[in-house]
Structure 1
């Protein structure tokens, strides 16, 4: 690596860190001034508040990184021009493009870091931050995604599901209502209601199940004490994934 590259990288990194620190402090101050009164009213401890605000930093970094990278480059070029360093570099036969080449590599590296941060770190920090706010500060229990009630779900075959209760620990459904639609005219062509359903590892076994077929104004009803229905294309994991994050 050339001495020039080391110099450009060092100066750019210094400016980047200063601007990033300034933006972070500013954003944290805004966040604290907005949230602090509410946290105090709810009886949050100093440790809980500190952790609550610190966990916001990854989000703030993702939010400000494009502007910070741009401003750092502008300040660096201004500094090189102000002290006539860019003239000296060009006099040595080095083009401006070659001079700023390290900045492109730094930008690429920061882009990768931002992508990884947003993909792996940010969801976990925001989830834990929400956990602190909901459970530690507000003393509210977060919904268990494996124990849900009143679920509305649209299956891949456009089947509309209503589940009164889902027990993801035992893979049991209660109060099931499934509506199927004719793909040609969009009208209801089948309705399945059942008291219970149990997942056997491969399919749902419905108990006390009524199946109603709608055909040209006629309704045909069949009853089954136990039955597996092939067109029911959902699994327990689908209900868990469909749960909204707290």
Structure 2
């Protein structure tokens, strides 16, 4: 590695770390100012608050990682251009492609760091961050996220179950129904206004129970105000929290998604978006680095201010499109793989175009 590579790489990493250390405390101060009243009202222990902000730091850094990286590269590359260091480097016979090498090395280090964070650190941080919010700040903990959530699952090759909503604390589900098919025809259907799990003997108690057995001529109907029985499913497992995918390590996330696919989960696109972003986020480090260097390597009349304005606009555009397409994948028919990778694809084309212009 030559002196010029060490010089640029050191500036790349140092500026990125400095940017993180500058903005994260600001984010913590803003978050404290918004939540301090509820923290005092709920008498939250200081240890829990300290753990929450540890998780908040990791969660926040991962969330705004593209903006931090982009602004840091824009900042120090603009300083190189304003000090005519880039002109001196290129005038010495070094090509623009060779000049880009330490930037790509820096992007590789940052992308590996982002991948490790996404696989090992972010899941635990996300769990701690969300659990604290829904336990102390929004009330009801995870149970509040389970309320009013309709769940329809396939629990076997020929059995389907529906639950209107499920309370995790009392282990009671409402508007319960189970349908069993023989081929394409309905064999029987069980319904109950509510169903309660009994942990002592692992049975279920159904209230206002009705079973309709479909016959060739007449249906057979059985009903009772209360009936105890055994099922092969777990009610708690029927209603995972909204943010459950964010809290799972990579290997567990793969298994969880396969299980949810077999059960016909309505949230499968949400889980797939979380999975694909673990890979798309590190790749964005290369794309954003190339765009930042291409935009800020030229000395402009507006100086660093103009470069930063352009950089902030592009960085927020990237984050905006990343969030928009993520929501589209979760709420519409847009394939999650396409939605997650489309911002990288579009900005990758922009990076190639800007890099060609910068070389000229």
- The answer (yes or no) to whether the contact 1:162–1:177 under 8 Å persists in 2 is yes
Q: Give the structure with the larger strand fraction.
A: 1
Contact 2:142 2:241 in 1 (8 A): no
Unpaired segments of 5 or more residues in structure 2?
A: 169-174, 204-208, 224-228, 244-360
Q: 1:63 deviation in Å?
A: 1.8
Distance 2:73 2:66 in 1: 11
Q: Is the 8 A contact 2:213 2:219 kept in 1?
A: yes
The alignment's TM-score, normalised by the length of structure 1, stands at 0.66
Partner of 1:213 in structure 2?
214
Q: Does 1:154 align with 2:155?
A: no
Question: CA shift at 1:62, angstroms?
Answer: 1.3
Equivalence for 1:123: 123
- Partner in structure 2 of residue 171 of structure 1: none
Alpha-carbon separation, structure 2, partners of 1:176 and 1:140 = 23
Q: CA RMSD in A?
A: 4.7
> Separation in 2 of the partners of 1:151 and 1:66?
33
Kindly tell me: are residues 220 and 197 of structure 1, through their superposed partners in 2, closer, same or farther at Cα, counting changes over 3 Å? farther
Q: 1:197 to 1:210 in 2, by over 3 A?
A: farther
Q: Does residue 74 of the first structure (1) align with residue 74 of the second (2)?
A: yes
Q: Which secondary structure does the structure 2 equivalent of 1:43 belong to?
A: coil
Q: Does 1:114 align with 2:114?
A: yes
Structure 1 residues 132, 72: closer, same or farther in 2, change over 3 A?
closer
**1:240 aligns to 2:237 (yes or no):** yes
Unaligned 5+ runs, structure 1: 168-174, 199-203
- After superposition, the Cα gap between the structure-2 partners of 1:153 and 1:181, relative to the gap in structure 1 and judged at 3 Å, is farther
Is the 1:152–1:160 Cα contact (8 Å) retained in structure 2? no
Q: Which has the higher helix share?
A: 2
Per-residue deviation, residues 111-131 of structure 1 (Å, max 9, x unmatched) = 333233234322212322444
Contact kept in structure 1, 2:160 and 2:179, CA below 8 Å: yes
Name the structure 1 match of 2:35. 35
Contact kept? 1:214, 1:220, Cα under 8 Å: yes
Q: Which structure ranks higher in relative contact order (CA pairs < 8 Å, sequence separation ≥ 6)?
A: 2
1:190 aligns with 2:188: yes
2:22 is matched with which residue? 22
Give the TM-score, by structure 2 length.
Answer: 0.48
What is the aligned partner in structure 2 of residue 60 from structure 1?
60
- SS for the counterpart of 2:100 is helix
